[in-house]
Amino acid sequence: MLFIIAGWAASLQATPPLRLSVLYFIGSLLLTIYAFVIRDPIFTLLNALASALALANIARALKLRAEASQRPGVK
């Protein structure tokens, strides 16, 4: 569990590519649903947290993209 948290903390420093975050979110969401169906609370919690982290990374990537498009001279 500590390694998972450490990995998540490290991933917060740099924003991953948007496509990767979307793929990670979809996979984590599907695993959350599966874990809920098989009634595994730990697996459900971990994948729900992974989904939330991926959603936060999507928001950060979209924000960075919007900020970059508003800068003059940047494509």
- pLDDT tens figures, 12-46: 778 888 999 999 999 999 999 999 999 999 999 99
Rounded to whole angstroms, how far apart are CA atoms 32 and 34? 5
Domain chopping of the chain, boundaries:
26-75
What does the pLDDT average to over 36-62?
Answer: 94
What does the pLDDT average to over 68-74?
Answer: 75
Rounded to whole angstroms, how far apart are CA atoms 56 and 58? 5
Token duo for residue 16 = 């991953």
Burial state string for 44-64 with b = 16 or more CB within 10 A and e = fewer than 16: bebbbebbebbbebbebbeee
* Average pLDDT over all residues of the chain: 87
DSSP 1-25: -HHHHHHHHHHTTSPPPHHHHHHHH
pTM, to two decimals: 0.78
> Tell me, what's the pLDDT at 26?
96
